[in-house]
Amino acid sequence: MSNPIIEKIDAALIDAEQRLSAAASEAEIEQVRVDIFGRKGLFPALSKEMKNVAPEQRKDTGMAFNVAKPKFQKLLDDANDRLNAGSAEVSGEEIDLTLPGRRWKVGRKHPVTKVIDDCVAVFRRMGFIVASGPELETVYNNFDALNTPKNHPSRDPGDTFYFADGRLLRTQTSPVQIRVMESQEPPVRIVAPGRCFRRDTPDATHSMNFHQIEGLYIDENVSLSDLKSVLRSFAHEMFGASVEVRLRPHFFPFTEPSVEYDFSCIMCEGKGCPVCKNSGWLEIAGAGMVDPNVLKNVGYDPEKWSGFAFGMGVERLAMLRYRISDIRWLYENDVRFLEQF
């Protein structure tokens, strides 16, 4: 049975194809579009005729109707593409293949990451392996197991970020010592770089989040001179063979004896300058011999095993190495700053 609507659609498709393949201007293409989709065009007219279609033909007709729409649209799109491609050639706007392409900017490592990578490389050459722990820690790992008294000021909620469940954002990388010792027997020789958090007011030398590198060495007969030689080798590798290391007595709950260690000033070679406040020395970090209480807490026998630990601030090293005067530069993600490294 013939179907007048389908016949009209087929005829219109043939007509549109002919007109569009001959079209030489946008106006001609537009006219075809109006004749088909416009308010007085083919489709609105056919819609009206639909109600005259015999019920048994409605389904096929509706389908033909729906399939035809994208066919017309494709004919129009192709015609437009053909015209646009042609116009570039006709007007002489050929694509100049000799023009340089747009360069992708290659990213680079953040100075903090670079310092961590370099420190880790130095310690790996000395036989240390990398360990890690979570930034969200237990009070036990961050304080208790590290022999920190209940009334120690660093536990104060004004200094440390606590969660409702009692856990905290680790204030130091030292809890990684506990995790490692609890999970293995001695000997231990690890470094643990990572992010730490303290409730400090940001200024040129303080940031609420910063990075440390922890070191831990446990074996038989380890002494403070082993610590000093490891730190001296580290100083030489990072800042050059002329750097001296000195240890000053200090206190940390998890080491006994505890020291702070300084490098001779890398700016003035120890002569005295504004960076070292004329002292000739730069404070680098804390260290010491692991307190027997810490060894007991993890189930190591302090009569058999001894060791040293150290922890240092990565930002401080980065600032010394790259002569950065304000720690906040490291966290602002300003490309003009970051692309200098």
- Smallest separation, CB 298 to ligand DAH (Å): 14
CA torsion sign, 189 to 137 to 171 to 256?
negative
Residue among 110, 89, 4 at smallest CA distance from 48:
4
In the region spanning residues 247 to 266, those forming contacts with ligand DAH, defined by CB under 6 A, are 252, 255
193 binds ligand DAH (CB under 6 A): no
Selected range binding ligand DAH among 31-39, 131-139, 281-289, 325-333, rule: CB under 6 A: 281-289
Q: Does 128 bind ligand DAH (CB under 6 A)?
A: no
Work out whether 68 is an interface residue with ligand DAH (CB under 6 A): no
Q: Does 147 bind ligand DAH (CB under 6 A)?
A: no
Residue closer to ligand DAH, measured from CB, 213 or 266: 213
Between 60 and 182, CB nearer to ligand DAH: 182
- In degrees and rounded to multiples of 5, residue 175 shows phi and psi of -60, -20
The answer to the question of residue 180 lying near ligand DAH (CB under 6 A) is no
Taking CB under 6 A as the rule, does residue 287 contact ligand DAH? yes
Find the length of the chain. Answer: 341
309 contacts ligand DAH (rule: CB under 6 A): yes
Q: Which span (33-41, 73-81, 83-91, 304-312) binds ligand DAH, by CB under 6 A? A: 304-312
Size of interface with ligand DAH, in residues (CB under 6 A): 11
**Smallest distance from ligand DAH to CB 312, Å:** 7
The smaller minimum CB distance to ligand DAH, of residues 186 and 288, is found at 288
CB atoms within 10 A of CB 306: 20
Separation CA 66–CA 232 (nearest Å):
80
Residue number, 42 or 287, with CB nearest to ligand DAH? 287
For ligand DAH, the binding residue among 141, 142, 172, 207 (CB under 6 A) is 172
174 binds ligand DAH (CB under 6 A): yes
Structure tokens at 157: 């909620």
Residue type, 131: A
Residue 29's Cα: distance from chain center in Å?
51
Q: Does the footprint of ligand DAH cover residue 141 (CB under 6 A)?
A: no
Residues numbered 200-239 forming contacts with ligand DAH, rule: CB under 6 A: 214
Which residues have C-beta within 8 Å of that of residue 339, sequence separation ≥ 6?
108
Which listed residue (186, 193, 194, 288) binds ligand DAH by CB under 6 A? 288
Q: Which residues of this chain interact with ligand DAH, rule CB under 6 A? A: 172, 174, 214, 252, 255, 286-288, 309-311
